[in-house]
Structure 1
Amino acid sequence: MIGRRSLVAAAIAAALALGGCTTPAVEGGAGEEALHDRLLALETGSWGYVRDRDQAAMRAFVADDVLLIFGDGSRYDKEQYVASLADQTLSDLRIWNSRVIPITPDVATLTYRVRYTSAVKQAKPEIVRAEVTSTYVRRGGQWMSVIYQETPFK
């Protein structure tokens, strides 16, 4: 069992350690709203790249070290995902309940719910409903997608 003195010492050590951490990208208000709107616009645009099978635009949107994880457990790196666009169809896209979580001035996560109809090659189209977590980093002044993950829901 942890004694009160040990617990207080641990709390003080944690507070001192966190004191040197980078401040969040924005702390509420208009800055956070602008960040949300910017990342949501980028994310919505990326869905358009999938719909249009625009490999060049998708290649520019995702970072070289991106990892994409889908609700079926499939994982893609940048080149795998960009190549897969040629075989995908996407329709009936709806995004709602979006929220931004600023992490540092150059890192933020966008969460939202999405519903879309998708098929790969000539497979029967499936309706997907997922909670999405999409993390962005700002490199060279440009926001880029580095992690995308879907968690299905009913």
Structure 2
Amino acid sequence: MVSNTPRKRDTPNFLLPCWQRSVRKRRNCDRIPLPGFYSEYVGPSLGESMRGLVICVCTVLLACCGFSAQSTSSAKPPQAEQSTGADSALQKMFEAKIKTEWEALKNKDKKAYGDLLADDYQGVEVDARGERNKIQSINEVPNLNVYNYNLWGFKLTPLGPDAAFVVYEVTIQFPPKSVMRYSRIYVTELWVKRGGQWQELHYQETNVK
């Protein structure tokens, strides 16, 4: 009768433990795919070692992937940092211009106010009197009664290198003897850059209750 167990001299050295175990205990070994009839016999110790090696390799790969993902998420591209810095500087510049605008209205300074407006400026206020051009808006400055003001909720949306959309809220305080002491207004402004200078092109007020 021909034995199904490979002879010792035909067995590679790395399979000898399995061969010896199969001869002594007459039990089949764990099976993993190998060329030829040796594919039927691989010792449990070898199989366990290979499984341990696979687990170790997978653990190392997962750790490397996690570190790489963390490094990628924490590092900001240089272009993103430059863009954030430019937007921050632009916002501060517009905040300063709007502060100058309201200081001019408070102090009834026609020249300072007019220097901020584009020649084709148009403004709409909450008094329901319709649109005003640059000349009309400047001429109304002496008649304003802005006693004090508070700006907040400033938001800037760049519309390219030469245009920007600005929104904010202002609480206007009128003189002590005025019938109405306070007015809260939501303001939208469109600014354009012409000849290297930023100018206000459109102004729109909306009452907030």
Bigger helix share: 2
* CA deviation string 1:119-141 (max 9, x = no partner): 7xx97454221111011001111
Q: Using the alignment, how far apart are the partners of 2:139 and 2:178 within structure 1?
A: 17
Corresponding residue number in structure 1 for 2:167: 111
Corresponding residue number in structure 1 for 2:143: 87
Bigger strand share: 1
Q: Using the alignment, how far apart are the partners of 2:147 and 2:197 within structure 1?
A: 28
Amino-acid identity (%): 26
* CA deviation string 1:27-47 (max 9, x = no partner): 951111111111111011000
Please tell me whether residue 146 in structure 1 is matched to residue 146 in structure 2. no
Which runs of structure 1 show a deviation greater than 3 angstroms over 4 or more consecutive aligned residues?
Answer: 122-126
Contact 1:40/1:110 (<8 A) preserved: no
Corresponding residue number in structure 1 for 2:84: 29
Corresponding residue number in structure 1 for 2:96: 41
Tell me which structure has the larger Cα radius of gyration.
2
RMSD over equivalenced CA pairs, Å: 1.9
TM-score after normalising by structure 1: 0.75
Contact 1:132/1:150 (<8 A) preserved: yes
Contact 2:118/2:200 (<8 A) preserved: yes
TM-score after normalising by structure 2: 0.56
Contact 2:192/2:199 (<8 A) preserved: yes
Equivalences, count: 126
Contact 2:174/2:180 (<8 A) preserved: yes
Q: Using the alignment, how far apart are the partners of 1:34 and 1:124 within structure 2?
A: 40
Q: Which runs of 5+ in 2 are unaligned?
A: 1-81
Q: Name the structure, 1 or 2, with higher relative contact order (CA <8 Å, separation 6+).
A: 1
Corresponding residue number in structure 2 for 1:54: 109
1:123–1:83 distance in 2 versus 1, CA, 3 Å? farther
Q: Give the C-alpha shift of residue 117 in structure 1.
A: 2.4
1:88–1:61 distance in 2 versus 1, CA, 3 Å? same
Q: Give the C-alpha shift of residue 118 in structure 1.
A: 4.1
Q: Secondary structure at the match of 1:63?
A: strand
